[in-house]
Structure formats: C-alpha cells, structure tokens
C-alpha cells in the first residue's frame, strides 16, 4: 500500500504507514482511525505512536474526548520525512503509470494540455485512479468533474463504487459526484453515492494534501460546503470547478 522508498528505509510497515498518514497525507487521527485506514492492529499502531512521541515527531491532543495524534511539522526531520514519503519505490514504473492515467483522462474528455489522448484503462478505473492521484495533484482534481460529466451515460456505478471501496476512496468519490451534481444542477446524482457516507469520520482531511501552514489555513477558510460534507478541506472554490466545466463542456 505504501509504495515509497521510505517503506523500505524505515524497515517497518507500521512506521511507514503511520508516517504516511501523518506527514504525507497531512492527517490528524486517533490510533483506531490509523489502524482502520492502514489495515494494521490498533496495538501495533499504538506502540509506534509511543515511539514517535518519544522522538518528538508527533503530539497527542485530546479533541472532543478522543486522543488525536498530530504530526510535529516543526521537527527538524519533518521535511526530510515528507520528501522520503513522496519518492516512489520504482520511479520509472510510477511515472509511466501516471502518464497512462493522464492520457486516459484526456481521452475521456479531461482538459489536460499537452497530453496525447489514449485509453489505457476503462472509465471506472480511470476515475478511481484519478481520485487517488488527485490527493497530491490539484490539476487532476479540477478536471475530474469534467470527465464525470462527459461520461455519465456510459458509467457503471456499481463498478465505480466497488473500485472506490477497494482503494478506500469512498469519501473522495462521494465528493466528486456531489460536486458534479451541483455543477450540473442534477441533484438526483447524489443518490448514487448516498451509501458511501462514513458517519465515523470526525476529523477533516486536506484534499489535495496541503504542503504548508499557509495552504492549510487557506483550505480551512475557503473549503466549499460540499467538501466539508464529505470530510475534506480544500483550497478550491466551487466556482473554479464550474469555470473549468463550462469551458470544456462540449464534446
């Protein structure tokens, strides 16, 4: 799951998973939430959190009665850890995969300048892969509503939702569909993702990942209501998505 050089360097899947959630994805989570997201046991995560706490890399704060683990982004090692987590285990394969995704999205109608449109995967897989890649790429996030809007008539909703569940992207898919429904004034689309809501989620995540305190502050101030409904903070307005969709709504 953690396809980075760091997962090998840290020599511990648990440590790599915890650091990925905290320092790469920029989340603040309870031990149980980290365990659920990473597929690890709460005990192993708790042990790793204690180790990181002793190193000063994390802090634990009580929020609404629950202990939340937060990354210490002021630690001298924080920037180096983030850099390691962004390095793929196989840069050549990772780059090729991202290129195929962008070419597929372009073939499906995404306004991605300079990309050669060519379908390497089906519509549902491309949307799910796009949602995952958009965690670190705001450009992809901005064009996904265009792709969805242009291909609604050919979409296999069951396959799309299964793919999102398999890759733990239920909330991301819910956000994409509800946002597109708002942009198109088609509220009936929201029924397609009503079953994806996770009432257990309490802590919002940055989507895409915020890289600095400034980006985090802007996201907290500007997040549209649809993002907050799905548990996300983003420094993108609904109008910016609307402008992109209107400019590229043709065939």
Is the predicted pLDDT of residue 166 greater than 60, yes or no? yes
CB crowding 74-97: b at 16 or more within 10 Å, else e? ebeeeeebbebbeeeeeeeeeeeb
Phi, psi of 185 (to 5 degrees): 55, 45
State pLDDT tens for residues 32-44. Answer: 988 888 777 888 8
Task: Give the mean model confidence (pLDDT) for residues 226-238.
Answer: 93
Asked if 232 and 206 count as a contact pair (C-beta separation under 8 A), the reply is yes
46 vs 41: CA distance, rounded Å? 9
pLDDT, tens digit, 9 for 90 and up, residues 8-36: 556 577 888 899 889 888 888 999 988 88
Helix (H, G, I), strand (E, B) or coil at 178: helix
At residue 2 the predicted structure's pLDDT band, cuts being 50, 70 and 90, is very low
37: helix, strand or coil: helix
* Residues 209/137, Cβ–Cβ less than 8 Å: no
* Pairwise CA distance, residues 87 & 206, whole Å: 20
| Predicted pLDDT of residue 94 | 58
pLDDT at position 112 is: 92
Question: Bridge-partner residues for 58, per DSSP?
Answer: 71
Q: What are the extents of the domains in the chain?
A: 5-85, 91-247
Place of tokens 């959190």: 49
Does the pTM surpass 0.75? The reply is no
116 — alpha (psi -120 to 50), left (phi > 0) or beta?
beta
CB 71 within 8 A of CB 26: yes
The CATH fold of domain 5-85: Arc Repressor Mutant, subunit A (1.10.10)
CA nearest to 231, candidates 202, 190, 196, 189: 202
């Amino acid at each position: 799951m953690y396809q980075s050089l760091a997962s090998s360097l840290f020599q511990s899947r648990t440590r790599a998973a915890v650091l990925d959630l905290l320092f790469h994805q920029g989340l603040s989570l309870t031990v149980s939430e980290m365990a659920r997201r990473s597929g690890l046991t709460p005990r192993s995560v708790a042990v790793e959190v204690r180790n990181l706490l002793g190193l000063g890399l994390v802090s634990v704060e009580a929020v609404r009665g629950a202990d939340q683990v937060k990354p210490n982004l002021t630690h001298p090692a924080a920037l180096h850890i983030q850099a390691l987590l962004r390095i793929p285990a196989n840069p050549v394969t990772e780059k090729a995969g991202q290129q195929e995704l962008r070419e597929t999205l372009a073939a499906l109608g995404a306004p991605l300048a300079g990309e050669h449109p060519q379908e390497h995967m089906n519509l549902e897989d491309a949307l799910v892969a796009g949602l995952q890649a958009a965690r670190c790429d705001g450009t992809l996030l901005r064009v996904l509503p265009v792709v969805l809007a242009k291909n609604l008539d050919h979409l296999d909703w069951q396959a799309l939702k299964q793919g999102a569940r398999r890759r733990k992207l239920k909330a991301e898919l819910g956000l994409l569909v509800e946002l597109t429904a708002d942009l198109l004034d088609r509220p009936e689309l929201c029924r397609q993702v009503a079953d994806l809501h996770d009432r257990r989620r309490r802590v919002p995540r940055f989507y895409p990942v915020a890289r600095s305190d400034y980006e985090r502050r802007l996201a907290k101030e500007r997040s549209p209501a649809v993002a907050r409904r799905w548990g996300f903070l983003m420094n993108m307005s609904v109008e910016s998505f609307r402008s992109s969709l209107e400019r590229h709504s043709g065939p």
